[in-house]
Amino acid sequence: MKILVTGGAGFIGSAVIRNIIDNTKDSVVNVDSLTYAGNLESLPLIEESERYAFEKVDICDHAELDRVFSTHKPDAVMHLAAESHVDRSIDGPAAFIETNIVGTYTLLEATRTYWNTLSLDEKDAFRFHHISTDEVYGDLEGTDDLFKETTPYEPSSPYSASKASSDHLVRAWLRTYGLPTVVTNCSNNYGPFHFPEKLIPLMILNALDGKPLPVYGDGMQIRDWLFVEDHARALYKVVTEGEVGETYNIGGHNEKANIEVVKTICALLEELVPESSYSKDSAAHSDEDGNVKGFESLITYVTDRPGHDVRYAIDASKIERELGWKPEETFESGIRKTVEWYLNNKEWWSRVLDGSYAGERLGVKG
């Protein structure tokens, strides 16, 4: 099978492509415009595969999408291209409307144009898999409530509202035009190659540099954390085995308060980087009374962001029951792997922080 992956240079998209190339016989066409979060260095050695092709294309460019479909003739689309940072959506929502709504509409139309050229058997086999977020559901009030596939949408931020809109468009293209679509909504991802503006990599890198670890409000916002490689495996299950018209929630079964996540990272760094001047083992980092507090002393509580949802939690029983997927990583194993990856891959994140990454290996600039 040949799969067209939009946003394949992003965090989740690159994990999806690595999984497909490394663990299946399928081919991939990576369609990415290489905005700030698109990093081809998240696909080490992948471009050497004969089963991989890259197209630097904006999903809002209908003509270029038509060319990509005509050239590569994919059997499925996995749509991950999106603006995804909530804080950025609050400061500048226009890009989220353009990419997440207009871009999804444009991609749907380009896909439909191509799909209509296929034979009946090819049409039946084709899939348009839209990858979305649990943030479209808003937040949960009760401590035992879970997001189900039937939970009503109540998005709180410009980001989640734009993703909710794109979800509705995808379902409408199935209902109106018969385009065979499937939707997944996932919880918070983490793992290797995560862009450093997001919570977990930000905390790791700030701590290593002795910078403050900013925590919104009281840090008691709860998220369900999903290791990105588990998510990539789930997405492949859905695009190859999922039923047309269905929605599948994907979660990690790991509800953690933000402050608990940050303190877990601090504890791991104490263990893994004891030589740091910010470790408890170092007398170089102490308060006025001479008490050594370690990495946790860098935690700084900051003003909460507007409209901050309190709790997300996914009921992922449907995908386990119907497709046989469940996460392989616990939060404890996944967060250890993540911290160790950042400690061992300074070249990758250093090039992100100084802006020198930008897809240079393929001779393009983001």
Catalytic residue flag (residue 134): yes
Task: For residue 191, give the amino acid letter.
Answer: G
Q: How far apart are CA 205 and CA 85, in angstroms?
A: 18
Residue among 105, 159, 236, 357 flagged as catalytic? 159
Q: How many CB atoms lie within 10 A of CB 105?
A: 19
Q: Name 257's Cβ contacts closer than 8 Å, sequence gap at least 6.
A: 219, 220, 221, 222
CB-based contact 86:14 (threshold 8 Å): no
Residue among 32, 64, 135, 329 flagged as catalytic? 135
Give the DSSP per-residue string, 303-338. PPPTT---B--B--HHHHHHH----S--HHHHHHHH
What angle, rounded to 10 degrees, do the helices at 258-272 and 331-344 form?
50
Q: How far apart are CA 300 and CA 215, in angstroms?
A: 6
Q: Name 277's Cβ contacts closer than 8 Å, sequence gap at least 6.
A: 210, 284, 285
What angle, rounded to 10 degrees, do the helices at 331-344 and 199-208 form?
50
Note the Cα 162 to chain centre separation in Å. 15
Catalytic residue flag (residue 342): no
Residue among 41, 134, 224, 309 flagged as catalytic? 134
CB-based contact 269:298 (threshold 8 Å): no
Q: How far apart are CA 347 and CA 327, in angstroms?
A: 29
Q: How far apart are CA 215 and CA 132, in angstroms?
A: 25
Residues with a catalytic annotation lie at 134-135, 159
